[in-house]
Amino acid sequence: MAPVTNSASIATSSSKRRKYLEAGKTVESEDRISYLPPEVLCRILSLLPTKYAVGTSVLSTRWKYLWVSVSSYDFDDELLFLPAKHSGEDKCHFLNFVDRVLILQKAPSVKKFCLKCSQEYDTSRINMWISFAIMHDVEELDIRVFMKDSLALPRSFFDCKTLVVLKLSSNLNIGSSLPICFPNLKTLDLCSLDCLDDSLMKKIIAGCPILEELRIKRSALDKIQNLCVQSSSLRRLMLYCCIACPKDHKYSVVIESPCLQFLDLGDYISEDFNVNELSQLSEARLSVAQIYKQSIPSDDYGENLIGNLLCKISNVRRLKLSHHINKSVACALEAGSCLCTYPNLTCLEVELEGSWQFVFDLLESSPNLEVLVCTKVRRCTQIGKGPQVPHCCIWKPPDSIPSCISSRLGKIQLAGFDGCQVEMRLVQYILKSAKFLQELKITSHKLDLKLQSSILKELLLFPRGSVSCQIEFS
């Protein structure tokens, strides 16, 4: 007997399915963003370059004038220029665009004002825009001007009481004749300013009584010789002096910031580092060497300058050292110097060119180290091969196992691994000695798959002091 079909139930089921699909289609096509509160939409627009924020006015009636209530502005003339075409018409378009946006804005104050100019403009026009931001109680000001003639900032800039974040870059002229007072400034970023000299730097820092973060990237044309950072409120300091300079000048760095917690120092020119005790420092990154000037013998430079600098930061918890500074310290150690102890150090990142000996010197000075990251920046090669004698991998087992390896070290990352005999012996030593090691991650240089497979098989056969250690090789 044929099964009975209920046509009414089939029709009902089809109707429900059709309504479900139509409802799904409605949900997918619904514009949910436009129904967000205006303050949320303005917050979203404030994260975009102003050109794109204004462009949303074509989306719908609700979006048409929403951008005029945005309190953050990011003007970049390169976004308005056609690729490889910087015509006078484009420049005029940018000037008129900025003027129109500022005239129509309705926000009671300016939270952020960023201006990037890659072309020549009337400086009075630029100062008018900056003055507008200052008059509207700007909190974050970011000025990056790349013009042939320097831009003298307006007088109202030098005593702006609402600034919290200030970023200045390239060809700006901060006159030394006017007093500087930024009572609420917490973050200051000075990048490649030719106008800076010793006295002006002191004046700027002194005018920021509650400054917490300072970043200085030196220009090859500035007049700074003795870079002095004196601030009782400073928490984070980033100094980059990685520039060529006149060889007849003597350069130095002075840091007197007792509350400093983070230090990033890149310096290839200074011959003296006068650093006060940094008892609150928790993280440091150092890339210091004589690259552009060789006025001090390598042993003295490593022992007296770098060695003393490393002792001043002995309280750090995290430390990153570039291969430049490692070479200087290695010379000092070979001459008989000793490293100070780092009792609080738990994470160490080291760059090296081939010799692993310096790494173990640091391990012996870091009894509580838990994480070790080593990056080799130069590949191993055979000595005597080719016209020049290349740098090769060097390491010999220490007389006694560093205490951190046997009692603390839990994570190791080795990058730039070549799998040479020295490196394989080093890994074998660590795996056998590290009783608390949980993870060993090794990243090799570009090795063929057959060699990678052979290295991995050998690594997995090494005895391990920690039964829970996981090895990852790629």
| 24-40 average pLDDT score | 65
pLDDT category at 301 given cuts 50, 70, 90 is: low
Report yes or no: 393 and 423 within 8 Å, Cβ to Cβ. Answer: yes
**Phi, psi for residue 246 in degrees, rounded to 5:** -60, 130
Q: Where are the domains of the chain?
A: 341-474
Question: How confident is the model at residue 337, as a pLDDT?
Answer: 65
Rounded to the nearest 5 degrees, what angle is found at the Cα of 316, between the Cα atoms of 313 and 320? 90
CB-CB neighbours of 332 under 10 Å:
22
Question: How confident is the model at residue 200, as a pLDDT?
Answer: 92
CB-CB neighbours of 113 under 10 Å:
24
Is pLDDT of 27 > 50?
no
Report yes or no: 341 and 365 within 8 Å, Cβ to Cβ. Answer: yes
Question: How confident is the model at residue 88, as a pLDDT?
Answer: 66
Question: How confident is the model at residue 53, as a pLDDT?
Answer: 84
pTM: 0.84
Report yes or no: 350 and 318 within 8 Å, Cβ to Cβ. Answer: no
Is pLDDT of 86 > 60?
no
Token output for 314? 């002995």
Question: How confident is the model at residue 20, as a pLDDT?
Answer: 45
| 74-78 average pLDDT score | 91
DSSP codes, 99-167: HHHHHH---SS-SEEEEEE-S---HHHHHHHHHHHHHTT-SEEEEEE--SSPEEPPGGGGG-SS-SEEE
Task: Quote the CA–CA distance of 212 and 278 in Å, as a whole number.
Answer: 15
Question: How confident is the model at residue 300, as a pLDDT?
Answer: 59
Question: How confident is the model at residue 118, as a pLDDT?
Answer: 86
Report yes or no: 442 and 419 within 8 Å, Cβ to Cβ. Answer: no
Is pLDDT of 19 > 60?
no
- Side-chain-side CA neighbours of 425 within 13 Å: the count stands at 10
Question: How confident is the model at residue 98, as a pLDDT?
Answer: 93
pLDDT category at 417 given cuts 50, 70, 90 is: confident
Rounded to the nearest 5 degrees, what angle is found at the Cα of 158, between the Cα atoms of 160 and 146? 110
Question: How confident is the model at residue 79, as a pLDDT?
Answer: 85
**356-409 tens-digit pLDDT:** 888 888 899 999 999 999 988 776 654 333 333 344 577 888 888 999 999 999
Is pLDDT of 220 > 70?
yes
Question: How confident is the model at residue 168, as a pLDDT?
Answer: 94
Q: Which of 257-261, 266-270, 437-441 has the lowest mean pLDDT?
A: 266-270
Question: How confident is the model at residue 136, as a pLDDT?
Answer: 95
- Side-chain-side CA neighbours of 249 within 13 Å: the count stands at 15
CB-CB neighbours of 383 under 10 Å:
8
Q: Which of 89-103, 124-138, 283-297, 418-432 has the lowest mean pLDDT?
A: 283-297
Q: Which of 147-151, 208-212, 406-410, 421-425 has the lowest mean pLDDT?
A: 147-151
Coil, strand or helix: which one is 6? Answer: coil
Question: How confident is the model at residue 205, as a pLDDT?
Answer: 95
Question: How confident is the model at residue 395, as a pLDDT?
Answer: 80
Token output for 229? 């950072």
Most confident of 32-36, 58-62, 223-227: 223-227
Question: How confident is the model at residue 223, as a pLDDT?
Answer: 87
CB-CB neighbours of 172 under 10 Å:
21
Is pLDDT of 436 > 90?
yes
Task: Quote the CA–CA distance of 393 and 352 in Å, as a whole number.
Answer: 10
Question: What rounded mean pLDDT belongs to the chain?
Answer: 82
The four Cα atoms 401, 284, 223, 205 give a dihedral, to 10 degrees, of -150
Task: Quote the CA–CA distance of 235 and 65 in Å, as a whole number.
Answer: 41
pLDDT category at 242 given cuts 50, 70, 90 is: confident
Task: Quote the CA–CA distance of 120 and 145 in Å, as a whole number.
Answer: 9
pLDDT category at 181 given cuts 50, 70, 90 is: very high
Question: How confident is the model at residue 388, as a pLDDT?
Answer: 38
